[in-house]
Amino acid sequence: MKTADIAQRYLDFFEDNGHTIVPSSSLVTSDPSLLFTVAGMVPFIPYLTGVVPAPYPRAADVQKCIRTNDIEEVGKTPRHGTFFQMLGNWSFGDYFKEGAIGYAWELLTRSEAEGGLGFDEKDLWVTVYEEDDEAEALWRSVAGVSPDRIQRLGKDSNYWSTGQPGPAGPCSEIFFDRGPAYGIDGGPATDDDRYVEIWNLVFMQYAITNVRSKLDFDIVGELPQKNIDTGMGLERVAFLKQGVENMYETDQVRPVLDRAVDLSGRRYGADHEDDVRFRVIADHVRSSLMLLSDGVTPSNEGRGYILRRLMRRAIRAMRLLGVEGATFPELFAASRDAMKESYPELETDYARLSAYAFAEEETFLRTLAAGSTILDLSMSQTKGAGGRTLAGSEAFLLHDTYGFPIDLTVEIAQEAGLDVDRSAFDSLMQEQRQRAKADARSRKRAIADHSVYREFRAQGETVFTGYTDLETESSVLGVLVDGVAVDRALQGQIAEVILAETALYAESGGQVADKGVIVGPGFELDVLDVQRPVPGLISHTVEVATGEVGVGQAATTVVDAANRRAARQAHSATHLVHAALRDTLGSSATQAGSLNRAGYMRFDFTWGQQLSDATKTEIEEIANNAVRDNLEVTTRVLPLSEAKELGAMALFGEKYGDRVRMVDIGGPWSRELCAGTHVSTSAEVGLISLVGEASVGASNRRVEALVGLDAFRELAAERALVSQLSTSLKTPREQLPARIAELSASLKAAEKKIAAFEAKALSEKAPSLVEKAQEIGGFRVVAESIGSAGSADDVRSLALQVRDRLGSSAGVVALAATVGERVTVVVATNDGSRAAGVRAGALAKSAAAVLGGGGGGRDDVAQGGGTDPAAVPAALASIVDSLRAA
116-161 tens-digit pLDDT? 999 999 999 999 999 999 999 999 999 999 999 999 999 989 999 8
**Would you list the domain boundaries of the chain?**
3-247, 252-371, 387-449, 451-559, 572-715, 765-885
Please indicate if the annotation marks 678 as binding a ligand. Answer: yes
Find residue 540's DSSP bridge partners: 497, 530
Please indicate if the annotation marks 284 as binding a ligand. Answer: no
Q: How far is CA 738 from CA 37, 718, 725, 748, 797, in A?
A: 48, 18, 13, 15, 37
Q: Which of the four pLDDT bands, split at 50, 70 and 90, describes residue 447? A: very low
Residue 716 has pLDDT above 70, yes or no: yes
Q: In sequence order, which residues have a C-beta less than 8 Å from that of residue 709 and are 6 or more positions away?
A: 566, 599, 686
Residue-wise pLDDT tens digits, 297-313 = 887 778 888 998 899 89
The closest of 21, 25, 45, 22 to 33, measured between CA atoms, is 45
Query: Could you tell me which residue, 213 or 282, shows the higher pLDDT?
Result: 282
> To which H or E segment does residue 713 belong?
helix 709-729
pLDDT value at position 433?
A: 64
Q: What is the CATH number of domain 765-885?
A: 3.10.310.40
CA 34 to the chain's CA centroid: 20
β pairing state of 537-546 and 494-499: antiparallel
Domain 572-715 top-level CATH class: alpha beta
DSSP 612: P
Query: Could you tell me which residue, 363 or 127, shows the higher pLDDT?
Result: 127
Query: What separation, in Å, do the N-terminal and C-terminal C-alpha atoms of the chain show?
Result: 55
Residue 199 has pLDDT above 70, yes or no: yes
pLDDT value at position 329?
A: 95
State the average pLDDT for the chain. Answer: 88
Q: Which of the four pLDDT bands, split at 50, 70 and 90, describes residue 383? A: confident
pLDDT value at position 59?
A: 96
19: left (phi over 0), alpha (psi -120 to 50) or beta: beta
Strand locations in 93-213, DSSP E?
124-129, 150-153, 159-161, 166-177, 195-209
**Burial of 772 by CB count in 10 Å (0-12 exposed, 13-18 middle, 19+ buried)?**
exposed
CA 766 to the chain's CA centroid: 44
Average pLDDT over residues 801-809: 86
Please indicate if the annotation marks 571 as binding a ligand. Answer: yes
The closest of 528, 615, 523, 532 to 577, measured between CA atoms, is 615
Question: How many Cβ atoms sit within 10 Å of the Cβ of residue 358?
Answer: 14
DSSP 836: T
At residue 526, what is the residue type? D
Phi, psi (rounded to 5 degrees) for 555: -150, 145
Question: How many Cβ atoms sit within 10 Å of the Cβ of residue 775?
Answer: 9
Alpha-carbon distance of 16 to 828, in angstroms, equals: 62
Q: Which of the four pLDDT bands, split at 50, 70 and 90, describes residue 446? A: very low
852 close to 866: Cβ distance less than 8 angstroms = yes
**Percent of the chain predicted with pLDDT > 70:** 95
Q: Is the pTM of this model over 0.85?
A: no
Residue 435 has pLDDT above 70, yes or no: no
124 close to 174: Cβ distance less than 8 angstroms = yes
Please indicate if the annotation marks 171 as binding a ligand. Answer: no
Alpha-carbon distance of 544 to 550, in angstroms, equals: 11
Strand order through the sheet with 659-665: 633-639, 659-665, 670-673
CATH of 451-559, one of 3.40.50.9100, 2.40.30.130, 3.20.20.140, 3.40.50.1370: 2.40.30.130
Q: What is the largest CA-CA distance in the chain?
A: 109
The closest of 438, 585, 588, 568 to 514, measured between CA atoms, is 568
Domain 3-247 top-level CATH class: alpha beta
Q: In sequence order, which residues have a C-beta less than 8 Å from that of residue 752 and are 6 or more positions away?
A: none
CA 96 to the chain's CA centroid: 44
Alpha-carbon distance of 318 to 281, in angstroms, equals: 7
pLDDT value at position 827?
A: 93
Alpha-carbon distance of 116 to 99, in angstroms, equals: 17
646 close to 668: Cβ distance less than 8 angstroms = yes
873 close to 766: Cβ distance less than 8 angstroms = no
Residue 651 has pLDDT above 70, yes or no: no
Phi, psi (rounded to 5 degrees) for 492: 90, -15
Best-predicted range by mean pLDDT (12-21, 152-161, 807-816): 12-21
**Percent of the chain predicted with pLDDT > 90:** 52
Average pLDDT over residues 551-577: 95
